[in-house]
Homo-oligomer: A and B are copies of this chain.
Amino acid sequence: MTIKLHEKILLTGAAGGLGKVLRESLKQNCTTLRLSDRADFGPARAGEEVMLADLADADAVDAMVQGVDAIVHLGGVSVDGPYLPIVQANILGLFHLYEAARKHGVKRIVFASSNHVVGYYSQGETIGIDAPPRPDSFYGVSKAFGEDLSKFYFERYGIETACVRIGSSFPKPVDRRMLATWLSYGDLHRLITACLTTPVLNHSIIFGMSNNAVTWWDNSGAKHVGYVPQDSSDQFREEIYAQTAAPDLNNPAHTTHGGGFVVQGPY
Contacts and interface: CB of A to CB of B under 8 A. Distances in A.
Contacts of A170: none
Interface stretch (A16-24, A34-42, A146-154): A146-154
B238 A1 contact: yes
Which has the most chain B C-beta neighbours within 10 Å: A126, A160, A179, A234?
A126
Interface string A137-159: 11011001100110110011010
A27 interface: no
Interface string A208-238: 0000111111101111111110000010011
A171 interface: no
A108 to B, nearest CB: 10
Given A87-B95, A158-B249, A199-B176, A224 B123 contact: yes
A43 interface: no
Interface string A236-264: 01100100001101100011000000100
B87 A91 contact: yes
A198 interface: yes
Interface residues of A, number: 80
A133 interface: yes
A126 B102 CA distance: 26
Count identical subunits in the complex: 6
A163 to B, nearest CB: 13
A31 interface: no
A3 interface: yes
Interface of A: 1, 3, 5, 83-84, 87, 91-92, 95, 99, 102, 107, 120, 122-126, 130, 132-138, 140-141, 144-145, 148-149, 151-152, 155-156, 158, 160, 176-177, 179-180, 194, 197-204, 212-218, 220-228, 234, 237-238, 241, 246-247, 249-250, 254-255, 262, 265-266
Given A158-B250, A215-B226, 15 more contacts: A83-B99, A91-B91, A107-B249, A124-B200, A124-B203, A125-B202, A126-B222, A130-B132, A135-B148, A135-B152, A137-B152, A180-B199, A194-B214, A200-B254, A218-B220
21 contacts: A87-B87, A95-B138, A120-B155, A123-B200, A124-B204, A125-B202, A126-B221, A126-B222, A133-B148, A134-B155, A135-B148, A141-B145, A144-B145, A176-B199, A177-B199, A199-B254, A200-B254, A200-B255, A213-B227, A214-B223, A215-B223
